[in-house]
Amino acid sequence: MIMIPKDRSSVNVMKGNFYGTFFRFVQFIIRKMSPTYHVQIPNQISGPVAYISHHQNTFGPFVIMLWFPKSLHAWILHVFLNQTACYKQYAKYTFTKRKGMNKHLAKICALPLSYLIAKLLHSGKGIPVYRGSRQIMQTFNQSVAALQKGEDIVIFPDIDYSDTSSRTNAMYEGFLYLEKYYYKITGQHVCFVPLYASKSKKVIIADHPIHFRDGEDFNKERKIVYQKIHDQLNLLAKKCGDLNE
């Protein structure tokens, strides 16, 4: 097990850092104001890796992108990478329907935030996700290209991303098609690794790699890999004491 010490200085210089200057600046500032998270990664994990994690209403992405010791290309809903679309998302849905904010106040708050978020996520080299659209091929193409360069990605596939509980419930299965496209181009299987962030233990912990098996039917194997990832995420939560069952 590779253990990254709970020491701010040990994570300031990140290996393989492809983040832009703005992202790294914001990351540095927030680290100074946030609790440090200890990172545990099994020794047998080597890149390129597709980490699969639990969203927990933005807690997972926030903590992992803040403290993980390597740069990660996060899968991000495409609207947040476009300032205009991001503004509409916050003004017409997030602040109004989810938060119950007055629509005029929502517009005032959404405008500067949309510029900040879009710029930050672009600087963080996020990969846009186009759900329910043929543009989803762009997501897979960018992901395969990143993995081919030896760069890691992280995906938060929760269907109910607003769920704050430690338990991983239903997930979108579409991310597993990454295997199909990666294997077609490289002849190698994607290394999927469950990754869990624990609020109570202030730890980010990874489980053992999960791969599709050679010669198996993709659709059948997809169900098996999905279940393994789902189960391991909940086992990690239980290991951290976040699940009592």
Question: Does residue 198 share a domain with residue 210?
Answer: yes
Question: Does residue 226 share a domain with residue 132?
Answer: yes
Question: Does residue 159 share a domain with residue 91?
Answer: no
Question: Does residue 216 share a domain with residue 154?
Answer: yes
N- to C-terminal Cα separation, the chain? 25
**What would the pLDDT profile of 167-225 be if each residue is shown by its tens digit?**
999 999 999 999 999 999 999 999 999 999 999 999 999 989 999 999 999 999 999 99
Q: Report how far residue 13's alpha carbon sits from residue 2's, in angstroms, rounded to the nearest whole number.
A: 17
Question: Does residue 119 share a domain with residue 130?
Answer: no
Question: Does residue 205 share a domain with residue 112?
Answer: no
Give domain status of residue 151, yes or no: yes
**Which of the 8 DSSP states describes residue 91?**
I
Q: Report how far residue 78's alpha carbon sits from residue 145's, in angstroms, rounded to the nearest whole number.
A: 18
**What would the pLDDT profile of 143-175 be if each residue is shown by its tens digit?**
999 999 999 999 999 999 889 999 999 999 999
The domain total for the chain is 2
Q: What is the pLDDT of residue 16?
A: 64
Give domain status of residue 3, yes or no: no
**What would the pLDDT profile of 65-106 be if each residue is shown by its tens digit?**
999 999 999 999 999 999 999 999 999 999 998 889 999 999
SS3 11: helix
Give domain status of residue 94, yes or no: yes
Give domain status of residue 220, yes or no: yes
Residues 6+ apart with CB under 8 A from 175: 50, 52, 75, 155, 157
Q: Are 208 and 44 in contact (CB under 8 A)?
A: yes
232 vs 42, which has greater pLDDT? 232
Give domain status of residue 6, yes or no: no
Give domain status of residue 7, yes or no: no
Query: b/e string for 110-126 if b means 16 or more Cβ within 10 A?
Result: beebbeebbbbbbbbbb
**What would the pLDDT profile of 27-52 be if each residue is shown by its tens digit?**
999 999 999 999 999 887 877 999 99
**What would the pLDDT profile of 96-121 be if each residue is shown by its tens digit?**
988 899 999 999 999 999 999 999 99
Q: Report how far residue 36's alpha carbon sits from residue 196's, in angstroms, rounded to the nearest whole number.
A: 15
12 vs 114, which has greater pLDDT? 114
Instruction: Tell me the average pLDDT across 51-64.
Output: 96
Question: Does residue 233 share a domain with residue 215?
Answer: yes
For residue 145, the enclosing domain spans 17-22+32-71+126-245
pLDDT reading at 2 higher than 80: no
Question: Does residue 113 share a domain with residue 215?
Answer: no
Question: Does residue 146 share a domain with residue 207?
Answer: yes
Question: Does residue 114 share a domain with residue 39?
Answer: no
Please, how many CA atoms are within 13 Å of residue 88, restricted to the half-sphere of its CB? 6
Instruction: Find tokens 């469950």 and name the residue.
Output: 194
Q: Report how far residue 37's alpha carbon sits from residue 202's, in angstroms, rounded to the nearest whole number.
A: 5
- Going by pLDDT thresholds of 50, 70 and 90, the confidence category of residue 245 is low
pLDDT reading at 13 higher than 60: no
Question: Does residue 199 share a domain with residue 147?
Answer: yes
Q: Are 48 and 147 in contact (CB under 8 A)?
A: yes
Give domain status of residue 138, yes or no: yes
Which of 123, 145, 161 is a domain's end point? 123
Q: What is the pLDDT of residue 46?
A: 73
Question: Does residue 166 share a domain with residue 137?
Answer: yes
Give domain status of residue 191, yes or no: yes
Q: What is the pLDDT of residue 83?
A: 96
